[in-house]
Each structure stands twice: as C-alpha cells, then as structure tokens.
Amino acid sequence: MAAVVAATRWWRLLLVLSAAGMGVSGAPQPPNILLLLMDDMGWGDLGVYGEPSRETPNLDRMAAEGMLFPNFYSANPLCSPSRAALLTGRLPIRNGFYTTNAHARNAYTPQEIVGGIPDSEQLLPELLKKAGYVSKIIGKWHLGHRPQFHPLKHGFDEWFGSPNCHFGPYDNKARPNIPVYRDWEMVGRYYEEFPINLKTGEANLTQIYLQEALDFIKRQARRHPFFLYWAVDATHAPVYASKPFLGTSQRGRYGDAVREIDDSVGKMLELLHDLHIADNTFVFFTSDNGAALISAPEQAGSNGPFLCGKQTTFEGGMREPALAWWPGHIAAGQVSHQLGSIMDLFTTSLALAGLTPPRDRAIDGLNLLPALLQGRLMDRPVFYYRGDTLMATILGQHKAHFWTWTNSWENFRQGIDFCPGQNVSGVTTHSLEDHTKLPLIFHLGRDPGERFPLSFASAEYQEALSRITSVVQQHQEALVPGQPQLNVCNWAVMNWAPPGCEKLGKCLTPPESIPEKCLWSH
C-alpha cells in the first residue's frame, strides 16, 4: 500500500510539473487513456444531470466516483467536425472540417464527400506514440472514408468500426451500405453482415463494440500504456440496441440504447478494477454534439434546460454531458465549473503522457489537469462556429450571438425542426440574422435557456460586450483557416469497393466520377 501511495504522489508531482511545462526523467509508466465519445447524446440524458427516469446507474456512479463538468462543450454542433476537433485539439475552421459553399452552413462527411482529415494535421494517437502508447479506435471514425484518410494512417494501431454512421439500408446501386472495418480491411457492411432492424431497432453492434474494448484492454493491461477511443453510435438515429435491452427503458428506443451504453461503460470500469489498473487509467465520457431533436421524441435524447439541439449553436447543440474518472487521482464527488471543450481532451491526454502539444500550430484545447487534480478554474473563451462563420462566443457566464439561425424556412416548412416547441422570438430565426454590430447577449447562469437577452442599454451588457469583443478580435486577427475539406462531393468516391471487398465478394461498381459542390440540405 505504501508503494502505491508513493507512486500516486510521484505521478501527481509529474502531472503538476507537466502542466507547468517541466519535464521529469525516470517517471513511472504514464496512465492508460480511455475516451468514451457518444453520438448525439444530450446534456440531459444522464441521471446525474437530472434525467428523471434515472436509467444510467453506471455513468451516475462514474460521476460520483470522479468529476462532473456541467459546462463542457463540443467544438461544433455536428458529428464529424467535432470529432476532428477532439483528435487534433483544433477548431474545425483550423483543421479544415468545414465548408465555404454557403454562409454559416454546417457540413459533415457523408459517403460522397471527397475530403477528410489532412496529412498536415497531427492527431492524438500519432503524438501518443512518442510516449509508447498503443492506440485503438472502436466505432465511428467520420474523418474521411477514402484510403488516405484511414485511421491507421493517422496514428491508430487498431480499428474496428465504420468510416461513417449506420445510415441505410441502401440499394447498393445508387448508394452502397456503409462498410465495417477490422484494421485495414472491411469485414462486412451494415444491414448485411452487421444487421440493424429498422422496424424493431435490434442490433448487436454495441455488444460487439463492448467486446472489442474488453479484449483490447485485457491484451494491453500489462504491456504498453494504451489509448482507447470508444466511439459508439447507437444513439444516432436510427437508434438501436441489442435484444436484452429493447423495450426496457421508460424513454423508448432511444432510452434502450442509452441503457445498453451505460451497461457497457459499467463493464469496462469493472474490468479496469479486476485487472488492478483502474488507478492507472484516465477515463473521460462525453458526446460529439447535442441531442438531435429533429429525431424526437422516439429517437432523440434530451438537452435538459438548453435551447434547440444538434445543428445549431444554441446551448442545446453544443453543451455536452462530461464525466472524468481516475481513482486515486481525481477526488470522488467533484463538480468542476471549468468551461471545458472537447478539444481539451487532446491537450489533457498529451499532458497525461508527459508530452507537450505541437508548437508549430495554434492549439485550441486547454490542459484540464489543474482543474481535475487541483480544482482550479481557468478563464477561457469558447467559440461557436457553423461552417466558416463565428456564430457566438462565451466568456465566463456571458454568451454573445453574432448571428442567429436554426434552419431555412424551406426546410422548416418540410418538417425539419431543430428546435421543436422552443420558438424564442428574434432568437430561433429561420433566416440568417446578422447581429455582429449589436450582438444578442445572454447570462447563462440566470438564463441557461437563452430566452431573455440582456438590455442593450444596461451596464452589464456594455461590460460583457467590451470583454467579449476584445477576445473575438484577438481570435480573428490570429486565425489562419485551414483548407476546407468538406466542399466537394462525388458519388464515385462512395464506399463501392473498400479494401478487402474482393475477399468477401462485396465489391460494387462505382458510377462515373463527377466532382461537384456539396449542397448541404440543412
């Protein structure tokens, strides 16, 4: 026991010195890192955040044994840009995961996208190799599906999962089903070798992903430090769960998926304890963006008290559930009001490994170790982008909207609604409204639902505007946008003949190659 206590104290010293930029030689093996990234899970989906059915006992216990972050944000209100931000520590406007095809348009990586994560970006698993980490991604990649964008070409040692989400089933004539990979080669396709019953919601994918995680942890437990990125997509519509969980939730099919994820997290944490590596494994749980209210009520989660959902830069689209767990290091039962970002997981993971972020580029992620280990709060802004447009900025408790927009009147009249039942006059607009000269400012502590903008004439408004304007001006003056990766689409680059399709007899013939501008529907 004395040796364990001594090692823990030594590692705490190392982390404090690392956070201060000081190196330490002869340090013990750095901790394993397990990042659990959900898909479209809302801030209000966990019992610890107030979800009334209390169907997430394992995640609630994880929070009770670790630290809860109520003020944690994605880097984008859409899946793939936020995932690119997590793995690079950089805003999508910097790493290229945006479009310039239309003002303030969100963009992502559907099958027909030509672009993906550029070689110039340094991803977290690439950098962790310097500290001896072995890395695996399980689940959705979503950073480009063409061969040059394969995760094993960007630092991961193993992969089991898919390049895109489980949309479909498709007809394999106009659009092929999404492949599932093991490492370099596909092992089947969704709805074919990996069935998902769209009528009942039954699929065994979460169980498969869980077993992949347990096997990897067992293999690596006594070898190298490991980085496991568990990126399951069961809560992304069409939501799914395995048969033992179907029909067990008070929240419908979406709740079934959440219950299975909760059970899976519990099994992973239990294994860490059984292998006696829990005190040397840092675990973080969060989501890539807010709940997709367009799929409500049966196939969408809850964003709690916050406005709107996925696709928007209101709080419901960007604020995420976030839990940190590291027994013996993070004190139990802590709540940190640190303003956090999904990009902080990049910088914090490097600090855990005793590494420093690349110095040849702007890094937006903050090292959270002072907040995690010492309870410190660090002042920082959070920038809310849609496409190449800065929509809003939060600093402290104040949030300024420079542009407001949910989705177009055309889409809205077709039944596409990102804010069902939440119309706020002059705020949830269906035309892109310019507030750059006189931003709408909300105090999120008093008004988390963004319903009551501050009076333009008030002293509070003037003071908040001055502070935020200064921060935004500094940000924009230093900003060097990356080459946009999500501008060009081409049906010929879809998943017609992925590596390994020959062995399975699953190769399909692509159509004629016709590159064209991507026309995003939302």
Does 215 show up as a binding residue in the annotation? Answer: no
Q: Is the pLDDT of residue 22 over 50?
A: no
Predicted confidence at residue 8, as pLDDT, reads 43
CA-wise closest residue to 358 among 370, 369, 346, 368: 346
Predicted confidence at residue 222, as pLDDT, reads 84
What number is the average pLDDT over the span 31-54? 97
- Model confidence pLDDT, tens digit, residues 471-522: 999 999 999 999 999 999 999 999 999 999 999 999 999 999 999 999 875 5
The active-site residue out of 79, 308, 419, 489 is: 79
Residue 483's CB is within 10 A of a number of other CB atoms, namely: 11
- Angle, CA of 469, 484 and 138, to the nearest 5°: 100
- Model confidence pLDDT, tens digit, residues 286-341: 999 999 999 988 899 999 999 999 999 999 999 999 999 999 999 999 999 999 99
Average pLDDT of the chain, as a whole number? 94
Residue 426's CB is within 10 A of a number of other CB atoms, namely: 10
Output the 3-class SS for 88-111. Answer: HCCCHHHHCCCCCCCCCCCCCCCC
Q: Is the pLDDT of residue 146 over 50?
A: yes
Q: Is the pLDDT of residue 9 over 80?
A: no
Predicted confidence at residue 12, as pLDDT, reads 52
CA-wise closest residue to 323 among 45, 51, 127, 67: 67
- CB-CB contact of 235 with 257 (8 Å): yes
Beta bridge mates, 162:
140
Residue percentage of the chain with pLDDT more than 90: 91
Does 171 show up as a binding residue in the annotation? Answer: no
Q: Can you tell me whether residue 161 is helix, strand or coil?
A: strand
- Model confidence pLDDT, tens digit, residues 258-277: 999 999 999 999 999 999 99
The active-site residue out of 142, 145, 166, 398 is: 142
- CB-CB contact of 152 with 183 (8 Å): yes
**142 labelled catalytic:** yes
CB contact set of 95 (below 8 Å; sequence gap of 6+): 84, 85, 88, 117, 118, 121, 482
- CB-CB contact of 28 with 7 (8 Å): yes
What number is the average pLDDT over the span 412-422? 92
Does 157 show up as a binding residue in the annotation? Answer: no
Predicted confidence at residue 240, as pLDDT, reads 98
**79 labelled catalytic:** yes
- CB-CB contact of 91 with 385 (8 Å): yes
- Dihedral of CA 277/279/280/285: which sign? positive
- Model confidence pLDDT, tens digit, residues 369-381: 999 999 999 999 9
Predicted confidence at residue 14, as pLDDT, reads 55
